[in-house]
Structure 1
Amino acid sequence: MFSPPSLRRWVPVLAAAGALVLSAAPGAAAAGGPHLLYAGAVPGARIEVNGPVAFDIVGMPAGTDEVTVTSPALVEPVPLTPLRKGSVEFVQTDAPGTRHRIRGDIAPGTYPVTATSHGRTVATARIPVVAEGSAMIGRFVIGDAKRPLPAEGDRSAVRPGSDVIVVLTDGQPAAGETSLTVKSPLFDGPLTLRKGEDDPGCKCDDGSTLYGGHTTVRDDIPAGRYPMTVVSHHGQETTTRQVTVAGPPVPHSRLPWLLGGGAAVALVVLASIAVRRGRRKRRAAA
């Protein structure tokens, strides 16, 4: 699909997004009628305001010689041509001077798309358009600090009281955003994810920017599903993942607590008293 050289860059996008099924036009055969596919400029078939687009239509009747895609979201109509002579698949070709893009003066939203052949509607679609420069969250996961991190979408669970790592990758981070804040009922307070915080469990080789941080799941949280939300792009975008809590709480040694806070002060006072008593004994002996 999208075999011409000008469109080969869209193949990984469609592979990542899966089959982008769009509605057949009224009157077309539900099973064998034409299906319009599209790809955006980023994984997941997102399309940005002012961003490029690519269309493909499959299942056209034999003998069709041209298809045109139109939408109020497009700068100009997009012509599709047969993949090869006699093909039932039509693809977009970007000739010099064409502007096959989303308009830059529209608001984010969902817009209708229509494919026609000689004035007859053959397929329709609705494409979601996001704001220009939107976040491209490729991975936002939590996992046990002692185990490999789960992949995005994997079914995994954390235990109450467990030490965890939270990582997020953004293929299009906002300029100057060096840290992000994550909030969740899982934690006692907000967690800061720092840019470039690497961990053996997440090696990002796709050019995205990694944010990471370590924290502990509350040891009194009941089993269940809980939201984990990050606000990015300087407060403009919110991304939420659901996290499963299951299993018995992780036991923790009380020694770190005893060596901190008021207990540490008490130890210092006791040591000071012991030193003073030792001095008095030495003076009395003298």
Structure 2
Amino acid sequence: METMLAVEGLGKSFKDKQIIRNISFEVKKGEIMALLGPNGAGKSTTIRNIMGIMYPDAGSITFHNSKNKEIPRNKIGYLPEERGLYKNVNVMDILLYLAELKDYPKNRAKERALEYLKKFGLEGKDKVAVEELSKGMGQKVQFIASILHEPELLILDEPFSGLDPVSQELFKEEIRSLAEGGTAILLSSHQMNLVEEMADRLFLIHRGTKVIYGTLSEVKREYANFKCTINGVNSRSLLEGLPEVERVEQNGEIAVLYLSRNVQPAVWLKNLPAELDIQELSIDRISLHEIFIDIATDKNLLKEAGEAHA
């Protein structure tokens, strides 16, 4: 796939504190790339450097193989984490104004704005002042503003924050549709379940440096060990004594067994002892949420592995 955004060796410091160091990743046409990390990891600094809100001390940012230092703003859509729309301006006027800043044709912008307002359940709200909208409605308007001009690269910073489940589904559907249409999407979110559901690749940073970079399947295969959940009346000592079990989390009759890295699930299941009480059993790899928590809290409960963890 064609590379739309290439970040190479990015570094940024404030006074004597280095916020990000040697950050490198790509966002390709038609993919959803997740930029992840705990608070203070350097995600916002990275995004602000890409957007030209601030400039890096080291490294380069290239858009679509362009030789220019400045990324063309009319080719990028940006939904910031800190929402901000002119409150006393009506919805249509603010959308057309923001589209005009991107040199997008007014007639086409109005046509698309009406389509999106209808799609997001805001039909008839085009003449309503932004300040009269609910928080969720305002977020929908800002999302529409970020995609109205048909950007080639879309940067979404916490797009699902504060949305109800129905609105989350609408956003997810639209983000997927945009990616399928060729838009390169850089998605930053703390909602790991949504990231795991949507992202093609992910880049996770902690304390300003790369921790994980790869496709979701690569990360799962290289980093996420298997876990087995058993519902039954079993003693902790029995569970901890099972082969290839590295640790056990038990809550009543529900036990989660975290297995060693090289375990073969089919073989392991065949060798479970007959005295084990199993009412229900499931086995899968640990979730992206669990990987994130492990890294963010420095628990080091998981095993480092290959290029996915560096």
Question: Common fold, TM-score beyond 0.5?
Answer: no
Q: Which has the larger radius of gyration?
A: 1
Greater relative contact order (Cα < 8 A, sep 6+): 2
Q: Per residue, is there more helix in 1 or in 2?
A: 2
Q: Which has the higher strand share?
A: 1
The two structures have a TM-score, normalised by structure 1, of: 0.26
TM-score (norm 2): 0.25
